[in-house]
Amino acid sequence: MGLTSNKVLVVAVVLAVALFLVTVWFWPRFARRGWRAVVGRIGLLLVTQVALFAAVGLAANRSFLFYGSWADLFGQEQDMGVVVDHAAGSKDLRVVGTQGLDVPGGGRPATAGQIQKVVVAGERSGIVSQAYVYLPPEYFQAKYAKRTFPASVVLTGYPGTAENLIKGLKYPKTAYLQAKEGRMQPMILVMLRPTVAPPRDTECVDVPGGPKTETFFAEDVPKAVSETYRVGTKPRNWGFMGNSTGGYCALKIALHHPGRFAAGAGFSAYYRAAEDVTTGDLFHGDDSLRKRGDLLWSLDHRPQGSSSFLVTTSRKGEGNRQATLDFIKKVKSPAKVSSITLESGGHNFNTWNREIPPGLVWMSGKLSAT
């Protein structure tokens, strides 16, 4: 049973309740004096508390998907040993698995689309990372056989997993439903986590001496995808979106690479690269790089391209409200900016699931298939 499955959560809850009842029932027997009674009381309390904390932890993890699997929880990488051949003529992207969507007909690609698990090998950055590619049902239908599709890179927050984008934030299912209902055009999603040099949070920065995370996301990923799937290479063919750290990365890369991305959407984004124990020394004393990582500074001091931006915040619950308002004020033509402001919503999956559907529609409207 998987870490995020309903069965595991139900078993944990039932076990916690059962142990609580056992504690209540047997407590009178352990109320007497003596070391056996003391050990019994300690044992019952300890086991009951562990079961209770396990149930609460599993429930929280199922809601927010901090960990996607048991291996992830215990610090073990999944699917180790995937070898990417860098010999001449090899592709920068390899498909290593496929899965359907949780929708009617989800096992039939031409009906519901398909999620492909891939390994992307960055030609310029040297970074190798796993990703998931959602292909809409039209991609597999005969009448669209010669059609290209718009695509968007999608990033999680730090230290999330790419599975969060499928299970918790439901990007593929949402894109499928929005397109089916006619609200957006069919679009390919390239889903990754920003942590390409685990456990370090590189903030999508080209760190002096490596890793070159910005190069990987801004250049290597679009190139590899366009060479593998029917996706164009022009800016109007590509968008970038994400939440939290992924939102910061999306806005930054769309801002600094308007010749590659036509649009960037940041859900609960922040606007300056974090520098803390998880990031290490990102800029190696280079103040120009540090300023470049500050989006508000960049809007004031660097030329703005023609990219479009979507930013989100809430009047209650988000800490990025003032910075978001500042970002909106600083965007100048030919760039464009749109926003979503919720009355209340914290920095969590529930908030992002309220912003992603309109965010996907917005992104679709900014991109072109040709």
Residue spans of the domains in the chain: they are: 6-64, 87-366
Q: Which CATH superfamily is domain 87-366 in?
A: Alpha/Beta hydrolase fold, catalytic domain (3.40.50.1820)
Q: What is the pLDDT of residues 35-94, one digit of tens each?
A: 776 776 777 778 888 878 888 877 776 655 555 566 656 654 444 434 334 333 336 899
pLDDT at 65: 53
pLDDT at 145: 92
Please compute Rg for the chain using Cα positions: 23
pLDDT at 271: 96
Q: What is the pLDDT of residues 269-314, one digit of tens each?
A: 999 999 999 999 999 999 999 999 999 999 999 999 999 999 999 9
pLDDT at 86: 37
Q: What is the pLDDT of residues 132-143, one digit of tens each?
A: 999 999 999 999
pLDDT at 186: 96
What confidence category does residue 30 fall into, taking pLDDT thresholds of 50, 70 and 90? low
Q: What is the pLDDT of residues 334-358, one digit of tens each?
A: 999 999 999 998 888 889 999 999 9
pTM of the model: 0.78
Considering only residues 144 and 55, tell me which one the structure prediction assigns the higher pLDDT.
Answer: 144
Q: What is the pLDDT of residues 101-139, one digit of tens each?
A: 999 998 899 999 999 999 999 999 999 999 999 999 999
Q: What is the pLDDT of residues 154-210, one digit of tens each?
A: 999 998 889 999 999 999 999 999 999 999 999 999 999 999 888 899 999 999 998
Considering only residues 159 and 151, tell me which one the structure prediction assigns the higher pLDDT.
Answer: 151
Mean pLDDT of all residues in the chain?
Answer: 87
pLDDT at 48: 81
| Token pair for 340 | 């979503």
